[in-house]
Structure 1
């Protein structure tokens, strides 16, 4: 399994991608939010295609869809591959969907070419990853890995007040009757809300994804072998000063919250540049009160998003930044309140699987590099529980979460080749 695939599988994959893109709410790009009619239609479309490939199809209680190619060694653990079906608002047609279409195509090719594997292969279309509709992320893979127990569905609601539970029921899903209108050809039993449904039968997870960045394109490389997915820290920072008249308050007597916040953000940027790759730090939202042109700002609130692939360096950088913010606030006579809103640990990929991916790229004559993923992915939830690997292909101009998201057929086919060879190594080899 070291030679590139013929072109027919790549065309099959592209047809699946185009088919999925048709299930979208009106508007530019692709909008397919969790438990909407478009989402349900897309998952049912995938079930039909999986069944047509001869895979055993099932869904779990949150709507994850699986296609299973049973192995001849029933006691061996499952090799799982796939990605997420949901999108952001007005997103692209490759994010998530590419990993599902490629995984289905790879299983179909392997079955037709080599027959039954030794170890069971499964493709999965996770119900949700983005957090675009409800205030949580990884709802699909989080149930597979035990991050969620289902009780969250009672309280988590979208902007219109619809709870996850209500939205699930509208799709024929519930914790008591998890299959609803979606058919189940497997043997997994329902699990009541409040009890973990984490699977323990998964031996490896492999995810293929567009890079969503510009590194591979700028380097003119075909494949990215992900070494780790960066950990994240998110904060809300509130800076308090004194609102006062803009014309009558001397400069040296001001407690300007916006000026203090501006100095903090410049310090953040300076520190991040000094720390170097792969650390990144971003402030994506800033609110000023009272927000009028002739009043000195009395209060400012801004967000921070800080990421690094090494836990100690991430924590050290955050601590240093906060100490710097405190010094700035004290010098300017301002108050400072910092609330951590998210903390995820870095997720290193399996070194052995990463080396296998590198060998596959070499054997196929693919250009590649190892890299860190700054974006979050379903793979990070599996990394602590089973061997996990992740493959990137280039994204044009690094654009993602946009209708302009694009990867060429040649680039997508290269990722398919590498994924297929990896699944062959994991499921068909004796070792």
Structure 2
């Protein structure tokens, strides 16, 4: 399967049955309602893990789940579940071993949009309500989860919700982390009413399947004119801080050829980042998003420059090779300019392929629903990459207007939202109500 494999629809011999009364589902209205929690003056949404807006939104969702006929329940991390219990008709066949779960996260970046994460949560709640109304209780338990955190916007740690559920990370490993105001993770979770000493059950759970419906956060689907993206892989990432050391000196009296200019060296290294990434091929991306210089004075040669480096690809060997090429280039530049060079790796996430059987089921649904689709990798990280090693996992993308995300201008047309919703409902019906 290639990185971008495109398909048009021609129907199937056994088409998916039409979904009755689907037009009555008010998905956009649900998202508009949820966006009122944390609405900010910039026209966006700011809900950071365990802050007041996040707490209000998560508890309002619990009430909404109950209103929709689901059984709401928090865990110790603050993840929220809405459950549609199964009848147990599959007992003895393994069908009731673990629930089928859909959902995403409701935390945002600062001044973010109303769709990132929230779309998957809202769609999950309404999908379970719809299935119960139309078909009654499922054979296998269905759940929607509103994960407590994915973005890492408040504390320097991402995917806390999914990591706590899968047991990858425990509270003792992150409780010391501090936000920009000096509040520790332990204090924040306690003040929000969660934590190990609370009444809630432990976060660790076992899923039978996890399905995440999400906006693309990119331009590919919109530019190529497709309704659904079937995610094949979630990229791996490496993130570094690169420190270049030189010598501060007078800007007017130090000849150019005698300088040990850390900022000039860093600039040449950053140019090399772009060149190496371009040579590596279209699917590899490398980004320098931040640079600082010291002493940071206009008439002083910089003694130090620190810049960030983010490398992503769906193949680990490509990430590793690109980093080694960049490091070799950085070292050459530093030696030529008599500069010091140090680096620190902050993040290393392995690329994760999605489950092939669920991918095939999503494809069949798209063809049955006459929806144009394409196979594509995710260039952004998601909770699905945390769940996939522990249970069969898949992601469904819908288009993002102009590819804008993490921004108040983030937007997906209601028609596109509903197409993704149709696919999710059909998939949950197949897994929850099928034989």
| TM bracket (short chain) | over 0.9
Partner of 2:31: 17
Partner of 2:187: 166
Q: 2:389 aligns with which of 367, 384, 389?
A: 384
In 1: Cα distance, 2:424 partner to 2:379 partner: 21
Change in 2 beyond 3 A, CA 1:222/1:311: same
In 1: Cα distance, 2:23 partner to 2:212 partner: 18
Which residues in structure 2 correspond to 1:2-401 (within 5 Å)? Answer: 2-3=16-17, 5=19, 8=22, 11-24=25-38, 26-28=40-42, 29-73=44-88, 75-152=96-173, 154-179=175-200, 190-191=201-202, 197-200=203-206, 202-401=207-406
In 2: Cα distance, 1:333 partner to 1:258 partner: 13
Partner of 1:182: none
In 2: Cα distance, 1:265 partner to 1:5 partner: 52
- 1:9 touches 1:109 (CA, 8 Å); kept in 2? no
Q: What do the CA deviations read for 1:25-66 (whole angstroms, capped 9, x no partner)?
A: 542211111112221221122111211222121110011110
- 1:288 touches 1:297 (CA, 8 Å); kept in 2? yes
3-state SS of paired residue (2:208): strand
TM-score using structure 2 length: 0.91
Shift of 1:146: 1.0
Q: Note the residue ranges of structure 1 that are not aligned, 5 or more in a row.
A: 180-189, 192-196
Change in 2 beyond 3 A, CA 1:370/1:151: same
Change in 2 beyond 3 A, CA 1:86/1:406: same
- 2:238 touches 2:345 (CA, 8 Å); kept in 1? yes
Q: What do the CA deviations read for 1:321-353 (whole angstroms, capped 9, x no partner)?
A: 111111111122111101111111111101111
Shift of 1:3: 4.6
Q: 2:410 aligns with which of 405, 410, 419?
A: 405
TM-score using structure 1 length: 0.92
Shift of 1:267: 0.9
Change in 2 beyond 3 A, CA 1:300/1:399: same
Change in 2 beyond 3 A, CA 1:153/1:273: closer
In 1: Cα distance, 2:187 partner to 2:340 partner: 42
Moved more, 404-413 or 51-60: 51-60
- 1:234 touches 1:305 (CA, 8 Å); kept in 2? yes
Moved more, 59-68 or 5-14: 5-14
In 2: Cα distance, 1:147 partner to 1:59 partner: 19
Moved more, 95-104 or 73-82: 73-82
* Matched residues, number: 414
3-state SS of paired residue (1:42): helix
In 2: Cα distance, 1:279 partner to 1:44 partner: 40
CA RMSD of aligned residues (A): 1.7
In 1: Cα distance, 2:410 partner to 2:17 partner: 29
Change in 2 beyond 3 A, CA 1:7/1:215: farther
Shift of 1:6: 5.4
Stretches (4+) displaced over 6 A: none
Shift of 1:161: 1.9
Q: What do the CA deviations read for 1:145-164 (whole angstroms, capped 9, x no partner)?
A: 11221114531222122222
In 2: Cα distance, 1:306 partner to 1:61 partner: 34
